[in-house]
Amino acid sequence: CKKEMQMLSDLPAETRDGYRVQLLANIDHPGEVASALAQGAEGIGLFRTEHLFLGRDTMPGEDEQFEFYVQVVQRMRGRPVVIRTLDYAGPSSPFFQPMHYEPNPFLGCRGIRLNLNFEEIFNTQIKAILRASAFGRVKVMFPLISRVEDLRRVKSMMRQAQEELLRAGKNFDPDIEVGLLVEVPSAALTAELFAPEVDFYSIGTNDLVQYTLAVDRASAGINPLNQVLHPAILRLVKNVIDVARNARKKVAMCGEMAGEPLATLLLLGLGLNQFSAAAGALPEIKKVIRAVTLKEAREVALRTLQLSGPEEVRRYLEQEMKSRR
């Protein structure tokens, strides 16, 4: 079985008719890189940075952050690494004092709003990320963007950080790619407005589901699979993929839907370029991709979009998978 996995990890994520997609891993820590590579990850599609900030009283400085990020970049040896800026939700950390109490933290000051409101913290983080970009292929991605203005502002803060690094004589990749994490319905609905500002899109279905369907992502008892297969989510995902492809930008998915084999045919058929998931999910996703043609996947996607509810979508996709075994 180990041998089979090793063989599979060396094979490309390609359909039977030669359509190639990329499989990337989501990680929280440099220690996860080895297993991501062993499972065949061709890059890191989401490096969450919260891990370094959690459970401590003082903020990690620029050098400490740089060390954390560059470990991943070096271990990936030139493969792409998408680093997401800090995305706190829920109770505030000591660094964000004084932050007033928020009755609905998921609707409050998280993601990009933190980045914009706490300039010093953002400036330190973005400089550390930029410095790591001198050691490999780093891309930066911003969370919880709901309007283009926020992205423009954060990009101008990034330019300022680049100037500071230049003045300090520190190296970075001046052409670092910038991505939009599409996880708020307003961004998914207006995806084309972001095209001039971004190099790539990445769809975050975990939050997209919570904000589109009014379900708390942390709630037990709500079937997560049923939520991502909701026709509203499928339409938003389709819109982002169509917009990205028309604008000739790459489009990835880093939400958990990308690691769900039942959704693989559908996402492939919709035209997704990159699947980013927990490393352990990648071999199974690759198996599904290698067993079909792009034409078949497109037909599945077309049929799926005509269905009226998540249960119906799930049953249809299960049937498709069964008929291919």
- Residue 239-268 contact track with ligand PEP, rule CB under 6 A, x = bound: ---------------xx-------------
207: contact with Mg ion by CB under 5 A: yes
206 in a known ligand binding site: yes
Q: Does 206 bind ligand PEP (CB under 6 A)?
A: yes
84 is in an annotated binding site: yes
Residues 116, 106: Cα–Cα separation, whole Å: 16
User: Is 48 annotated to bind ligand?
Assistant: yes
Nearest CA to 113 out of 87, 90, 133 is that of 87
Contacts of 45 (CB under 8 A, 6+ apart): 24, 25, 26, 80, 82, 202, 252, 254, 274, 275, 276, 277
Q: Which two tokens stand for residue 206?
A: 């975990």
Which of Mg ion, ligand PEP, none interacts with 271 (beta carbon under 5 to 8 A by kind)?
Answer: none
32, 177, 207, 296: which one binds ligand PEP (CB under 6 A): 207
Segment near ligand PEP (CB under 6 A); pick from 70-78, 93-101, 154-162, 199-207: 199-207
Binding marks (x or -) toward ligand PEP, 31..50, rule CB under 6 A?
---------------x-x--
- Total residues interacting with Mg ion, rule: CB under 5 A: 3
239 labelled ligand-binding: no
Q: Is 55 left (phi over 0), alpha (psi -120 to 50) or beta?
A: left
Q: How far is CA 169 from the centre of its chain?
A: 31
Cα torsion 266, 270, 276, 278 to 10°: value is -10
- Does position 204 interact with ligand PEP (CB under 6 A)? The reply is yes
Residue number of the CB atom closest to ligand PEP: 204
- How does DSSP classify residue 201? E
Chain-centroid distance of CA 220 in Å reads 23
- Tokens of residue 247, six digits: 């604008």
Encode 61-85: b = buried (16+ Cβ within 10 Å), e = exposed.
ebeebbbbbbbbbebbeebbbbbbb
In the list ligand PEP, Mg ion, none, the entry touching 45 (Cβ below 5 to 8 angstroms by class) is none
Q: Is 202 helix (H, G, I), strand (E, B) or coil?
A: strand
183 binds Mg ion (CB under 5 A): yes
Q: How far apart are CA 144 and CA 142, in angstroms?
A: 7
* Residue 217 annotated in ligand binding: yes
Q: Which of residues 146-185 bind ligand PEP (CB under 6 A)?
A: 183
CB 198 within 8 A of CB 138: no
**Residue type present at position 302:** L
Name the residue nearer to ligand PEP (CB basis): 24 or 121: 24
Residue 112 is a binding residue for ligand PEP (CB under 6 A): no
Tell the smallest beta-carbon distance from residue 52 to Mg ion (Å). 17
Question: Which partner in ligand PEP, Mg ion, none is near 255 (CB below 5 to 8 A by kind)?
Answer: ligand PEP
Q: Is 205 in the site for ligand PEP (CB under 6 A)?
A: yes
Residues within the annotated binding site for Mg(2+)? 183, 207
The footprint of ligand PEP (CB under 6 A) covers 46, 48, 87, 183, 204-207, 254-255
